[in-house]
Structure 1
C-alpha cells in the first residue's frame, strides 16, 4: 500500500507540470503563485516520506523521481523564459532612453572647449 503523502506528492507534481504549460504573460503571476504554494506543500510532505518503504512504494518512488525530473526541466524552461523577458524589457528600456537622449553617452575626449568667452 502506498502512503497518502506519496500520492499527494505525485498529485502536486503533476499539477505543477500542467500549470507550467500555461505560457500567457497575463497568467504568469498566478502560475508562479500556485507553483510556490505547491512547492511549500511538497516540502511539508517530504518530512513524512521516510524509510522503510514497501516494494510497491519503491516502484511508485521511481515514478515520482521521473515526474520530479520532468518538473525540474519545466521549471528551468519557465525560468529561462522569464529571464529572457526581463532582459528584453531592459533592452527596450535602454533603447528608449537612448532614443530620448541620443547624446547622453557620447565620449567627450578630445573635444575643444573655447575658454575665451
Structure 2
C-alpha cells in the first residue's frame, strides 16, 4: 500500500474522530487524535512525487478534510480554554466565599480633609 493511501486512511480516521467528539468522551478522543497526528506526521515525510491521478485526487480530498479538521480542532481548543477559565473563576469565587476578608489590604492610608 502506498504512503499516500495510508495517509489518506489516517486522515479519514482523524476526521471521523474529530466529528465524533463530545464533552463526555473528550479526553479519550484527544488521545486518539494525538496518536493519529503522530502517525500521519511520520507518513508525510515519506510521500514523494511523482503522483498518479488517483493519488492526486486523494491528496485534494485530504486537503479539504484538513481544513475541516483544523476548524474543528480550533473550536475544541477554544472550548477547552473556556472550560479552564470557568474552572479558575469557580475556584476563586469559592475561595472568596469561604474566606471573604483574605484579599483585603490593610496597608492603606486615610487622609482627613477637615482642618
Q: Same fold (TM over 0.5)?
A: yes
Checking the alignment, whether the CA contact within 8 Å between 1:13 and 1:71 is kept in structure 2 is: no
User: TM-score scaled to structure 1, two decimals?
Assistant: 0.82
Task: Report the Cα offset of residue 88 of structure 1.
Answer: 0.6
Structure 1 residue 90 displacement after superposition:
0.6
Q: Does 2:22 match 1:23? A: yes
Distance 1:102 1:51 in 2: 66
Instruction: Tell me whether 1:65 sits opposite 2:52 in the alignment.
Output: no
Where in structure 1 do 4 or more consecutive aligned residues deviate above 3 Å?
none
CA-based RMSD of the aligned residues comes to 1.6
Give 1:58 deviation, angstroms.
1.8
Conserved 8 A contact 1:13-1:67: yes
Superposed displacement of residue 81, structure 1: 0.9
Confirm or deny: 8 A CA contact 1:19 1:35 kept in the other structure: yes
1:6 pairs with one of 4, 20, 23: 4
| CA deviation after TM superposition for structure 1 residue 110, in Å | 2.5
1:84-95 correspondence runs (5 A): 84-95=82-93
TM-score, length of structure 2 as denominator length: 0.83
Q: Is 1:75 matched with 2:64?
A: no
Cα distance change of structure 1 residues 41 and 76 upon mapping to structure 2, 3 Å threshold: same
Q: In the alignment, what sits opposite 1:34?
A: 32
Q: Structure 1, residues 55-106: CA drift from partner, whole Å, max 9, x if none?
A: 3322221111111111111111111111111111011001111111111122
